[in-house]
Structure 1
Amino acid sequence: MLYLNKPTVKQLADYADSMKQTLLDAVPNSGIPVAAQTFLDEKRVTSILTDTPDLLIRHHNEFMPKLIKNFNGKEYLTYLKIKSKQDKDLSLVEKTLIGRYKISGSLLKIFDYEKILSKSKSKSYNLATVLDRYTCTYCNRLYTNTVITPLEKGQRRLNDDNRITRPQFDHWFAHSVYPILGVSFYNLIPSCSVCNSSVKGDEIFDLENYTHPYMQDPAEVFSFSFNHKDIKDLNVKINVKKGSKMANHLSAFKISEVYNAHSAMELRDLLDLKYKYTDDYIHTLFNDTFDALDVSLEEIYRMVFGIEQMEQNYHKRPFSKFKHDILKELILIS
């Protein structure tokens, strides 16, 4: 996982200004109780849109009891699991739960991620442009950069034809479980379709057990390595503290499994450079040759390995962290 840069105050304010009126206009016609409607005033909606991850969950916890009397979190999760079952397959208890909690579905009339953001190319591409990420935040394997073609002569503004591709936005706090966080800035993580849909899906994350991309913690680190016992049988390893939030995150996104699928290519190339060439050749290539050309370490990484050397730039090229960690372990570059 790569950490994300926090947005500026202006970027958050602009995002809130582009979204909040749509949400506020949807509240009166949503069908939710008056107490819940009153809760969603302009100040609260703005906070929901812009608060940091550690504050977002508070809005959910304070709002749901106003939406559903005697709200119970465990019952709510059970309801989410059974709500799609056919009526004939439901027990009496399950029917009662569905009767109590089905009002939560009305929140999608307000915090409608698909309609408000995902299907709005202007809003979704504006957000993607602000985030400015080139590869998936979770796996750093696939490009997710935003592509917008320039305006043609005489064309005054962008339209849907100008907007070509952008990253998907993963709801770190699952949208199905935390519907009022459906369009919260800090809950929309730029990612690839594999991580967002195929791997993570609706897995329920929380800040106590998983690492959030906007909450950098020096203690939550990991590094890539490989199996030294048998170079013929390539095997990517991950060094991470067992039971840590980072370990849980990497496990949820199957990072070890997906990187091992690439080991025959990406890892093999690095090991070939180390073990098929003499130390004198490597020294000459990385020191004498490049010293003579007066190029920086960052430029060497880009020219030779096609990756970024600086951590803050890892997102600009696929496999940058992976290759950087392996190269460091092989001591190819001092």
Structure 2
Amino acid sequence: MQYININLPNIIEARDNHYLFMRYIIKKKINGKIFNESPPVSNMNKIQKVNGIKSTIAKFFNDEDNLRKVLIGTPDELEVIKNKFLSTGLKKSLKTLMNYDSWIKTDDKATYRNYNAYHLAEKLDIPTCVYCNRIYTKTVINSSGTKITRPTFDHWFPKSKHPLLALSFYNLIPSCSVCNSGVKGSTPFEISTHFHPYHKNLIEDFKYTFSYDHRDYDKFIFKIMPDNKFSEVSVNAFELEEIFKAHEDEIEDLRRIKDAYSEDYIDMLENNILSGSGITLDRNEVYRLAFGVHFQEAKFDRRPLSKMKKDILIELGIIKV
């Protein structure tokens, strides 16, 4: 699991763009053509009746602070407001206003044609799933503008239970379909107990390592070792250990490297293969060429299996840290 650095320029820009576009659409839905200021109270009920949005919800969203919290509030703020408007009638009205299904449409007639899920995914630029780091989640748009593929957006707070947060920036987590729909689904999470890629737990640091039981060299058992209870709960929620068992062949390949080339494999590549070739590569680049993944934790999201391979390589003694 990989945190998203909220201080990166592209993440900040993605958040700000999300707020501006979403604010415009929501204001327009609530107030008709008047979206720079709230309509007169006397006209409120009439406008809401036409747009199918309850006046209670309209008044809530016409408060700029409420609107900001819903659209770009921190995960902590979202947890506080997530249960507003949960009566049947209000939830239906909320779903009309916070229409996620419309936002993911890409046709020219779509409400969000100028800003939809592809625009957010492209700006975020998160190429592998933040939950498993196993599968590419790259956004692909061809030269003619046709939208081909993008990450799915997991609603960390399920939109079925919390429709108010259906379009909240920090509730839209770029992820693979396996983690999003196949494993997590609508399982309820809490900030204090589960990993959130935009929120670092202040009490327990999220940390785990990949390892394997090598008591029998010919038969080994893949395992994940959480550093604390918080990490354990999160790892179990996504069934990461079971899922990563499908990659035991990757560990076998790394073990064969150790057997064939000793623990000085990287040194051999750097000193023997590249010496005299005129190629200038630093140790991180040699590592990436050798194993197809990144060494620096900040770049784990750029290649699938980066964390798993680094942890196993450390355990095997092939790389030193």
TM over 0.5: yes
CA deviation after TM superposition for structure 1 residue 34, in Å? 2.9
**Which residue among 214, 219, 243 is the counterpart of 1:233?**
219
Task: Letter of the 1:267 partner, please give it.
Answer: I
Give the equivalent residue in structure 2 for 1:15: 18
Identity of aligned residues (%): 35
Alpha carbons of 1:24 and 1:284: their partners in 2 closer, same or farther (altered >3 Å)?
closer
Residue 298 of structure 1 pairs with residue 280 of structure 2: no
**Which residue among 137, 142, 156 is the counterpart of 2:130?**
137
Residue 25 of structure 1 pairs with residue 9 of structure 2: no
**Which residue among 228, 233, 243 is the counterpart of 1:258?**
243
Task: Letter of the 2:59 partner, please give it.
Answer: T
Task: Letter of the 2:175 partner, please give it.
Answer: S
Task: Letter of the 1:255 partner, please give it.
Answer: L
CA deviation after TM superposition for structure 1 residue 291, in Å? 6.8
Residue 183 of structure 1 pairs with residue 183 of structure 2: no
CA deviation after TM superposition for structure 1 residue 234, in Å? 3.0
Tell me, what secondary structure is at the counterpart of 2:309? helix
Alpha carbons of 1:31 and 1:243: their partners in 2 closer, same or farther (altered >3 Å)?
same
Alpha-carbon separation, structure 1, partners of 2:284 and 2:220:
27
Q: TM-score, normalised by structure 1?
A: 0.79
Residue 328 of structure 1 pairs with residue 292 of structure 2: no
Give the equivalent residue in structure 1 for 2:94: 107
Alpha-carbon separation, structure 1, partners of 2:189 and 2:262:
47
CA deviation after TM superposition for structure 1 residue 180, in Å? 0.7
Deviates more, 1:307-316 or 1:223-232: 223-232
Alpha-carbon separation, structure 1, partners of 2:266 and 2:138:
35
Equivalent residues in 2 for 1:1-334, closer than 5 Å: 1-6=1-6, 8=9, 9-27=12-30, 28=48, 29=50, 31=52, 33-41=54-62, 43=64, 44-61=66-83, 63-64=84-85, 68=87, 101=88, 103-117=90-104, 119=106, 122-151=115-144, 158=145, 161=146, 163-217=147-201, 219-244=205-230, 246-263=231-248, 265-279=249-263, 282=265, 285-289=268-272, 292=275, 294-334=280-320
Alpha-carbon separation, structure 2, partners of 1:150 and 1:294:
33
Unaligned runs of 5+ in 2: 31-47, 107-111
Unaligned runs of 5+ in 1: 69-100, 152-157
Alpha-carbon separation, structure 2, partners of 1:185 and 1:117:
14
Tell me, what secondary structure is at the counterpart of 2:243? helix
Task: Letter of the 2:319 partner, please give it.
Answer: I
Alpha carbons of 1:221 and 1:242: their partners in 2 closer, same or farther (altered >3 Å)?
closer
CA deviation after TM superposition for structure 1 residue 277, in Å? 3.8
CA deviation after TM superposition for structure 1 residue 275, in Å? 2.8
CA deviation after TM superposition for structure 1 residue 294, in Å? 4.6
Task: Letter of the 1:310 partner, please give it.
Answer: Q
Alpha carbons of 1:286 and 1:329: their partners in 2 closer, same or farther (altered >3 Å)?
farther
Q: After superposition, what is the alpha-carbon deviation per residue over 1:3-58, rounded to whole angstroms, capped at 9, x for unaligned?
A: 11216554322211111222233342565543332112151223311111111122
Tell me, what secondary structure is at the counterpart of 1:225? strand
Task: Letter of the 1:327 partner, please give it.
Answer: L
Alpha carbons of 1:319 and 1:279: their partners in 2 closer, same or farther (altered >3 Å)?
closer
Q: After superposition, what is the alpha-carbon deviation per residue over 1:64-100, rounded to whole angstroms, capped at 9, x for unaligned?
A: 3xx64xxxxxxxxxxxxxxxxxxxxxxxxxxxxxxxx
Deviates more, 1:119-128 or 1:131-140: 119-128
CA deviation after TM superposition for structure 1 residue 256, in Å? 0.3
The answer (yes or no) to whether the contact 1:5–1:214 under 8 Å persists in 2 is yes
Alpha carbons of 1:309 and 1:24: their partners in 2 closer, same or farther (altered >3 Å)?
same
Alpha-carbon separation, structure 1, partners of 2:263 and 2:306:
23
Alpha-carbon separation, structure 1, partners of 2:263 and 2:239:
35
Give the equivalent residue in structure 2 for 1:95: none
Alpha-carbon separation, structure 1, partners of 2:178 and 2:13:
32
Q: TM-score, normalised by structure 2?
A: 0.82
Tell me, what secondary structure is at the counterpart of 1:174? coil
Alpha carbons of 1:22 and 1:240: their partners in 2 closer, same or farther (altered >3 Å)?
same
